[in-house]
Each structure stands twice: as C-alpha cells, then as structure tokens.
Amino acid sequence: MAKLITIERHILEEQQAHFPEATGTFTNLMYDIALVAKQITHLTSRAGLANILGAAGDVNVQGEQQQKLDVYADDLIYRMMDHTGRLCIMGSEERPEPLHIPDKYPTGPYALLYDPLDGSSNIDYNVSIGTIFSIHRRVSTGDRGTIDDLLQPGYKMVAAGYTIYGSSTMLVYSAGIGVHGFTLDPNIGEFLLSHPNIRIPSKPKYYSINHGYTAYWHDGVRQYGQWLTQPERNLSLRYIGSMVVDFHRTLLSGGVFAYPADTRDPDKPFGKLRLNYECAPLAFVAEQAGGYASDGVGPILNIQPQDIHQRVPFFVGNRDLVEKAEEFIDQHDTEWVERYMSEVQHVVPA
C-alpha cells in the first residue's frame, strides 16, 4: 500500500526540514485552515438544501433568517480564527473593514487574508467553488495588528493557497517550498497528500478568458484574446467562472487564466478581481509551481497594495503565455497603461 501522508504530517515535516527553529505557530495556523476547509465542505455539500433546511449549517431553522453561503463561510472563518492567538488581524473579501482580533483574545505574529467563497455566483448551479487564503508576517508593532499588516506586497507572503469544493475537496498550498495538494478522504476526515510538488506543465493545454467581454476589451487585450485562439497555439478553451477552479486546472494542465481590465464599468477600470484576496495568493502559488502572474504590466507579487479591496487585471499560468499578454498590452494599450501606472505602485523586492 502507498504511504499515506496526512496534511498534518506534511506540514510538520516541512517545518522540521526547512525551519527547525520555528515555534510551531505557523504549523498550527495551517492546521486551523485545514479544519475550516472541512467545515466549509460540510456547508457547501448541503448548499442545495438551504431552501428546505434553512440557513447553511443550521438544521434547526424555524423563523431563522437565511444567510447567503459566502456570508456564512466568511463568518465561520473569522470565528474559527479570532481566538487562537496566532493572528493579529484579518481581512476578508466580504467585509469592508479589516477584521480585528477581539480584545479578550491574545494576538499572534501573522495576518490572514481570505476570499471565503470564490465563484459564489456558481453556487446555485452546483458548480465547484473554493476558498482562497494568504498569510503575511506581522509588521506592525503595537498590541493589536493594523491595516499595514494587510497591505504588504505579495512577494513578502509566508504562505498562500486555496481549497476547492468540487467532486472532491482539495487543499493546495505553498509555504515557499513548492506547491502541494491534498485531497480530503471523506471516510476518515483527513486531507491526504495526493499531488506532491506540483509543477505547471511546460506544454500548455487550455486557456481561460471570458470572450463574452471582447467588445469591452482594450486593443492589446483584444489582440491577445485572438492570438490565444490561433491554431499554432493549440489551446482549447475552458472557463468555469470560479477563478480558483479555473486556476487549479491551469496549474495542473498548463495554460493561462486571464481576467483583464475592460470598459464595462467606469467604476472598475482595472477589472473585477481583487489583488489581496484573489490575485496575489494565486500568483504566489503559480510562481512556486514554476509559472508567472502579471497585471499585464508587471509581476502581481510586486504590487504594493494601497487599499485592501483594490482590483487589478490578472494573467496567470505558463510564463511565456503571460508575458505575451504583457507584450500586447505594452504595444497597444499605452494610454491605459499610463493611467494604470499612475494609480498602481510596483515595488522591487529588496
């Protein structure tokens, strides 16, 4: 029988091998994330029953107000993480303000950012969704964390990853030493190492972009969209609309996922996806797997976030395919790039 490696054992062994001086706080934080993933698996597997059973996770329903699943998952993550003493602050896609650790609980050396349910518009159609997270080291010095702990460029990340609630539940993470994937065995309730050391294949198979917005794309992006469809590329199209799942496929099959800027909504000139909760964590994972992620101008991981909910264009996957997008944008979208660069700051790692 093959050797079974649980996520607990894997994280612990990784820590002992690479960070022998570590206190174990980070290891425990990762265990917490795996536990939350199991709880959200339970929630999402009952999503279709919400109308007959009431609020997700609640069987005793009479008169209870129903909550949307993403709001419920958001609250669950916060409540699972607020009292552990491992975090100093959190930021969630679902909440306008940073989430502070209540005064009655101790704080710790890390900051957590998360998108509780990515692809939530797919829930009603029973399509896979996921949770995205990233962890930064605390930089503020007071008793409680501050927004500065949440506004750090991606290259400073300690770890990032995601879980997918699909035909099986998977947890994929990187703590800076490669990317590792675990599949939940529902019979024993454990995440088992199923995808050790994931590397993005050099021969790409799929591309993933919403061609429905072609009319709203800037010239360079439009040309890039066309370039992807040319027979020489030999790429097939897949677009689920749950980025975390589209990303996961891209990571395993090779290819590119893109959510470019467009002119649909003047209030969102830089696309829809959020730097802190969606793009930066997946960029970290992509680079750890030998891929690359860009905003169309430079590395996602070099962007200095100005606002916790800031949106950026996103191109991720095989390096050559992503760099091609940068090339098209550089050549054809000069005016747009000028505007973008006047608002977005790229910093070079020290």
**Is 74 a binder of Mn ion (CB under 5 A)?**
no
- Closest listed residue to residue 146, CA positions, set 221, 89, 218, 92: 89
**Is 276 a binder of ligand AHG (CB under 6 A)?**
no
**Is 118 a binder of Mn ion (CB under 5 A)?**
yes
Q: Nearest distance from residue 117's CB to Mn ion, in Å?
A: 5
Among 131, 242, 294, 302, binds ligand AHG (CB under 6 A): 242
What is the distance between the alpha carbons of residues 108 and 342, in angstroms, rounded to a whole number?
36
Q: Nearest distance from residue 239's CB to ligand AHG, in Å?
A: 7
Taking CB under 5 A as the binding criterion, the range among 57-65, 90-98, 150-158, 337-345 that sits at the site for Mn ion is: 90-98
Number of chain positions touching ligand AHG (CB under 6 A): 12
What number of other Cβ atoms are within 10 A of residue 241's Cβ?
14
Answer for the pair 248, 164: CB distance below 8 angstroms, yes or no: yes
Q: Nearest distance from residue 207's CB to ligand AHG, in Å?
A: 14
Residues in the chain: 350
Site for ligand AHG in 56-95 (CB under 6 A): 93
**Is 119 a binder of ligand AHG (CB under 6 A)?**
yes
Looking at beta carbons only, is 30 or 129 nearer to ligand AHG?
129
Answer for the pair 161, 172: CB distance below 8 angstroms, yes or no: yes
Taking CB under 6 A as the binding criterion, the range among 2-10, 104-112, 178-186, 235-243 that sits at the site for ligand AHG is: 235-243
**Is 149 a binder of Mn ion (CB under 5 A)?**
no
CA distances from 10 to 25, 224, 238, 281, 284 (A): 15, 40, 32, 20, 20
What is the distance between the alpha carbons of residues 211 and 51, in angstroms, rounded to a whole number?
34
Site for ligand AHG in 124-183 (CB under 6 A): none
**Is 326 a binder of Mn ion (CB under 5 A)?**
no
Partner in contact with 269, chosen from Mn ion, ligand AHG, none, beta carbon below 5 to 8 Å by kind: none
Looking at beta carbons only, is 243 or 303 nearer to Mn ion?
243
Site for Mn ion in 150-189 (CB under 5 A): none
Site for ligand AHG in 255-274 (CB under 6 A): 259, 272
- Closest listed residue to residue 282, CA positions, set 316, 313, 324: 316
Looking at beta carbons only, is 180 or 274 nearer to ligand AHG?
274
Instruction: Name residue, tokens 């536990």.
Output: 35
**Is 241 a binder of ligand AHG (CB under 6 A)?**
yes
Among 72, 101, 115, 254, binds Mn ion (CB under 5 A): 115
Among 87, 89, 200, 243, binds ligand AHG (CB under 6 A): 243
Q: Nearest distance from residue 71's CB to Mn ion, in Å?
A: 10
**Is 246 a binder of Mn ion (CB under 5 A)?**
no
Q: Nearest distance from residue 317's CB to ligand AHG, in Å?
A: 14
* First vs last C-alpha separation in the chain: 47
Q: Nearest distance from residue 233's CB to ligand AHG, in Å?
A: 21
Distance of CA 350 to the CA centre of its chain: 24
Secondary structure class of 142 (helix, strand, coil): coil
Q: What 8-state DSSP symbol labels residue 100? A: E
Instruction: Count Cα atoms within 13 angstroms, Cβ side, for 37.
Output: 32
Instruction: Count Cα atoms within 13 angstroms, Cβ side, for 192.
Output: 10
What is the distance between the alpha carbons of residues 91 and 81, in angstroms, rounded to a whole number?
12
What is the distance between the alpha carbons of residues 247 and 254, in angstroms, rounded to a whole number?
10
State the residues that interact with ligand AHG by CB under 6 A.
Answer: 93, 115, 118-121, 210, 241-243, 259, 272
